[in-house]
Structure 1
Amino acid sequence: MARALGGNAMSTGLLPWLGIALILVIADQFTKVLILGYYHLGDSTYVTSFFNIVRAHNTGAAFSFLAAASGWQRWLFTGIAVAAVIFILWLLRSHAGQRLFCFSLACILGGAIGNLVDRLLHGYVVDFLQVHYGGWYFPAFNVADAAITIGAAGLILDELLRVRRAR
């Protein structure tokens, strides 16, 4: 009966992936607490010729998409994040033995939850990592965004490897 309900074997396979996601959420939130505690909005610290630490608030999505909207976007992105978390949990449970796939999903899950916490607590996402070259500045991002990017790259690699194995 326990196996039919997805019991112990399934949940045990899920735990490492949830652990990775939890570590990412903790790292993301810890770094954001530091930034919120030590930097005012717009403050910046030069680190290298191509990297700064800067405090920025993003009320939108990736690359500040919809950041200038009147506030409704907070709840839209919150709803999307909750739906993504539920879907990712389902995928992790269904594919717990696929290591690269689940690692990638765990990264995305941790990042999604990290940014979701920000939206719920602050109404915006705290960004603080800034890469630049010459006069060009990549939009500021955070640990959660980096985890999501790593997860997306991992999903692409996993699919490429799957297609290659199928040949």
Structure 2
Amino acid sequence: MNAFVAPSQGRSHLTAGLAVAVLVLVLDQVTKWWILDVVMQPFPRVIEVTPFFNLVLVWNYGVSFGTFASEAAYMPYVLSAISIGIAGFLVVWMRQAENRLTALALGLVVGGALGNVVDRLLYGAVADFLDFHVAGWHFWAFNVADSGITVGVALLVIDGLFRSHETS
């Protein structure tokens, strides 16, 4: 079997992946607007939603779990440039995706990465607001973009581990 994807099939996967990326980006930005401009007025607030979930506002100046956090004026631009570069690479991969699941997973990651880029460029940091906790232990606060990235990466790993691979 030919290892290359038929052009129309590749376009279909690309379109689906890009649609998911746009959806995640829009949902991320709408939820962040809602948290910043509607829910969290006045600042700061913790809103207890359930016994295991709060809405909070935490500014992340780094990447995952605050890694590479810095309040240096140039850091949001450095992290944004890296994220845009990675997103570009993932779109190229998406264009060559052999199946829809891979394209959709890549779309989740791209949309999430770009959602956090928008925050870095607008605010200099990423707004995180979802706070799950159990027995007094709080997970790291996160947002819709982070969820898209996490779910997308998990789907890529699952796809890579369990999809049957044909050999030439």
Equivalent position to 1:45, from 44, 47, 52: 47
Equivalences for residues 59-138 of structure 1 within 5 A: 59-95=61-97, 97-138=98-139
> Deviation at 1:24?
0.8
Query: 3-state SS of the aligned residue for 2:14?
Result: helix
> Deviation at 1:66?
2.6
Query: 3-state SS of the aligned residue for 1:70?
Result: coil
- Asked if 1:58 corresponds to 2:26, the answer is no
Q: CA RMSD in A?
A: 2.1
Letter in 2 for 1:21: A
Q: Take 2:8 and 2:127, find their aligned partners in 1: how far apart are those partners?
A: 37
Contact 2:25 2:145 in 1 (8 A): yes
> Deviation at 1:102?
1.2
- The aligned counterpart of 1:141 is 142
Contact 1:45 1:54 in 2 (8 A): yes
> Deviation at 1:7?
7.3
Q: TM-score, normalised by structure 1?
A: 0.86
Instruction: Among all aligned residue pairs of Structure 1 and Structure 2, give the percentage whose two residues are the same amino acid.
Output: 36
- Number of aligned residue pairs: 160
Residues 70-106 of structure 1: CA distance to partner in whole angstroms, max 9, x if unpaired?
A: 34432221111011111011001111x4122111101
Letter in 1 for 2:160: E
Distance 1:15 1:109, change over 3 A: same
> Deviation at 1:64?
1.1
Letter in 2 for 1:126: A
> Deviation at 1:23?
0.8
> Deviation at 1:110?
0.7
Letter in 2 for 1:15: T
Q: TM-score, normalised by structure 2?
A: 0.86
Letter in 2 for 1:46: E
- The aligned counterpart of 2:154 is 153
Contact 1:41 1:57 in 2 (8 A): no
Task: Tell me: higher relative CO, structure 1 or 2? Use CA pairs within 8 A at least 6 residues apart.
Answer: 2
- The aligned counterpart of 2:3 is none
Query: 3-state SS of the aligned residue for 1:140?
Result: coil
What are structure 2's unaligned runs of at least 5 residues? 1-5
